[in-house]
Amino acid sequence: MSRYNAKATEAKWQKIWAEGKTFKTDSASEKPKYYVLEMFPYPSGRIHVGHVRNYTMGDVVARYRKAQGYEVLHPMGWDAFGMPAENAAMERKVHPADWTYDNIANMRNQLKHVGLSVDWDREFATCDADYYGKEQQIFIDFFKNDLVYRKESWVNWDPVDNTVLANEQVIDGKGWRSGAEVERRKLSQWFLKITDFADELLEGLNGLDRWPEKVRLMQENWIGRSEGLRFDFEVTNPSGDIPAKIPVYTTRPDTIFGASFCAISADHPIAASLAKDNADIAAFVEECRAGGTTEEAIEKAEKKGFDTGITVAHPFDKSWKLPVYIANFVLMEYGTGAIFACPAGDQRDLDFARKYDLPVLPIVLPEGEDPAAYTIENEAYTGPGIMFNSRFLDGMDYVAAKAAVIDRAEAEGWGERTVNYRLRDWGVSRQRYWGTPIPFVHCDNCGVVPVKSEDLPVKLPDDVSFDKPGNPLEHHPTWKHTTCPSCSKPALRETDTMDTFVDSSWYFLRFCTPDSDAPFDKDTTDSWMPVNQYIGGVEHAILHLLYARFFTRALKKVGRTNIEEPFEGLFTQGMVNHVTYKDSEGEWVFPEQVRRRDDGTLFRSDNGHAVTEGRIEKMSKSKRNVVDPDDIIDQYGSDTARWFVLSDSPPERDLLWTEAGIEGAWRFVQRIYRMVEEPTTPLAANGAIMPDGMSETAQALRKATHKTIMGVTADIENLHFNKSVARLYEFANAITAKLEGDGAAEAMREAVETMVLLVGPMMPHLSEELWRRLGYKTLVANTPWPKALEELTIDNTVKMAVQVNGKVRDTIEIAKDMAKEDVEAFALARPNVTKFTDGATIRKVIVVPGRIVNIVAN
Pairing, β 797-804 against β 852-857:
parallel
The per-residue pLDDT for 140 is 98
CATH number for the domain including 667? 1.10.730.10
Number of H helices, E strands in the chain: 26, 34
Q: What is the enclosing helix (H) or strand (E) of 183?
A: strand 183-192
Q: Are residues 362 and 329 in the same domain?
A: yes
The per-residue pLDDT for 620 is 81
CATH number for the domain including 346? 3.90.740.10
In a domain, 617, yes or no: no
The per-residue pLDDT for 738 is 86
Q: What is the tally of structural domains in the chain?
A: 3
The per-residue pLDDT for 174 is 83
User: Longest Cα pair distance anywhere in the chain, in angstroms?
Assistant: 118
Q: Are residues 262 and 381 in the same domain?
A: yes
Instruction: Give backbone dihedrals phi and psi of 623, rounded to 5 degrees, phi first.
Output: -100, 5
CATH number for the domain including 818? 3.10.20.590
Q: Are residues 324 and 232 in the same domain?
A: yes
Mind listing the pLDDT tens digit for each residue in 673-688? 999 999 999 999 998 9
Q: What is the amino acid identity at position 37?
A: L
Q: Are residues 820 and 770 in the same domain?
A: no
Sites in the chain below the pLDDT cut of 70: 1, 167-168, 291-297
In a domain, 305, yes or no: yes
Asked if residue 761 has a cis previous peptide bond (ω within 30° of 0), the answer is no
> Count of CB atoms within 10 A of residue 485's CB?
19
Q: Are residues 784 and 834 in the same domain?
A: no
In a domain, 776, yes or no: yes
Cβ proximity of 701 and 748 under 8 Å: yes
Instruction: Give backbone dihedrals phi and psi of 602, rounded to 5 degrees, phi first.
Output: -105, 150
The per-residue pLDDT for 795 is 78
In a domain, 256, yes or no: yes
The per-residue pLDDT for 296 is 64
Alpha-carbon gap, residue 573 to 535, rounded angstroms: 7
Q: Are residues 683 and 828 in the same domain?
A: no
Asked if residue 469 has a cis previous peptide bond (ω within 30° of 0), the answer is no
Q: Are residues 841 and 782 in the same domain?
A: no
Alpha-carbon gap, residue 470 to 159, rounded angstroms: 10
The three-state DSSP-derived secondary structure of 466-493 is CCCCCCCCCCCCCCCEEECCCCCCEEEE
Mind listing the pLDDT tens digit for each residue in 545-585? 999 999 999 999 999 999 999 999 999 988 888 899 999 98
Q: What is the enclosing helix (H) or strand (E) of 645?
A: helix 638-647
Where a domain ends, among 793, 809, 842?
793
Alpha-carbon gap, residue 71 to 68, rounded angstroms: 9
Q: Are residues 300 and 253 in the same domain?
A: yes
Give the range of the structural domain holding residue 285, as residue numbers without chain letter.
226-420
Q: Are residues 826 and 760 in the same domain?
A: no
Q: Are residues 679 and 819 in the same domain?
A: no
In a domain, 388, yes or no: yes
Alpha-carbon gap, residue 663 to 90, rounded angstroms: 42
In a domain, 264, yes or no: yes
Instruction: Give backbone dihedrals phi and psi of 396, rounded to 5 degrees, phi first.
Output: -85, 155
Q: Are residues 825 and 694 in the same domain?
A: no
The per-residue pLDDT for 176 is 76
Q: Are residues 674 and 745 in the same domain?
A: yes
Where a domain ends, among 390, 420, 450?
420
Pairing, β 440-443 against β 447-450:
antiparallel
Q: Give 663-667's long-range contacts (Cβ < 8 A, gap of 24+).
A: 665/636, 665/640, 665/641, 666/636, 666/637, 666/640
R_g (Cα) of the chain, nearest Å: 35
In a domain, 382, yes or no: yes
Alpha-carbon gap, residue 76 to 119, rounded angstroms: 7
In a domain, 758, yes or no: yes
Where a domain ends, among 758, 778, 793?
793
